[in-house]
Amino acid sequence: MFKKTCIALMAALAALTPAVTLAQTANCPADLNFDRWVDSADLSQLLLEFGDCFECPSDLDGDGVVNGGDVSLMLLDFGACPDGPGDNPCPPWGTFVSEGGPEPILYNDLTVGVRWWDVVATGWQRFTSAAPEGECTTFNTNYQSECYAYGTEVGRDAQFTYYADGNCAYFTGPTTPPNPCPAAATIISIDRAFTLTVTPLEGGCGQSYVVGQATRIQYHDGNCGTYWGWPILARYKPYGMPLGFCDTWEFFSDGVGGYYTTRNCPPAGVILEEISRTPFTVTITGGFEWILGYQLVVLETDGECGTRESSRYEWLPYGTILGSDGNYDYYSDGNGWYYTVPVGCPSAGTVLSSTSVDIFINVIGVEWKIGTNSTTTFADGNCGTYDLLSTEYLPYGTLLGTDGVSNYYSDGNGSYYANQCLAAGTQIYAYSSDLKVTIIPGVEWTIGTSTKTVYADGVCGTYEETTYTYAPYGSLLGTDGTYDYFSDGTGGYYTQPVACPPQGTMISENSGAIAVTVGGNTWQIGTVTDTTYADGACGTYVQSVTEYLGFGTFLGNDGTCDYFSDGAGSYYSSNCG
pLDDT tens digits, 66-104: 999 999 999 988 888 765 434 455 666 666 666 666 788
CB within 8 Å of 412: residues ≥ 6 apart: 393, 394, 395, 396, 397, 398, 428, 429, 454, 462
Is 202 in a helix, a strand, or coil? helix
The DSSP H or E segment spanning 68 is helix 68-76
Residue ranges in the chain whose pLDDT is less than 70: 1-27, 82-101, 117, 119-143, 178, 204, 404-405, 419-422, 458-461, 499, 537, 577
Enclosing H/E stretch for 13: helix 2-14
d(CA 385, CA 387): 7
**pLDDT at position 140:** 66
Which of 506, 553, 483, 523 is closest to 337 using CA atoms? 483
Q: Are the C-beta atoms of residues 135 and 149 closer than 8 Å to each other? A: no
Sheet holding 385-393, edge to edge: 351-363, 366-379, 385-393
d(CA 290, CA 301): 32
CA–CA gap between residue 19 and residue 35 (Å, rounded): 8
Write down all domains in the chain, each with its CATH number in brackets: 2-147 (1.10.1330.10), 187-263 (no CATH), 271-342 (no CATH), 351-574 (no CATH)
Supply the pLDDT for residue 66.
Answer: 92
Question: Residue 489 and residue 468: Cα distance in Å, rounded?
Answer: 11
- 3-state DSSP call for residue 508? strand
Looking at residue 194, what is its pLDDT?
85
pLDDT given for residue 452 in this prediction:
87
Q: How far apart are CA 240 and CA 222, in angstroms?
A: 43
Rounded Cα gap, residues 523 and 452, in angstroms: 14
- 3-state class (DSSP) for residue 10: helix
**pLDDT, position 317:** 92
8 Å CB contact between 10 and 34: no
Tens-digit pLDDT profile for residues 401-447: 877 667 888 888 988 887 655 677 888 778 788 888 888 877 888 88
- Note the pLDDT of residue 85: 39
Give the per-residue pLDDT at 21.
33
**Identity of the residue numbered 281:** T
Distances (CA, A) of 98 to 36, 138, 198: 15, 10, 73
Quote the DSSP letter at residue 297: E
DSSP-based three-state secondary structure for 204:
helix
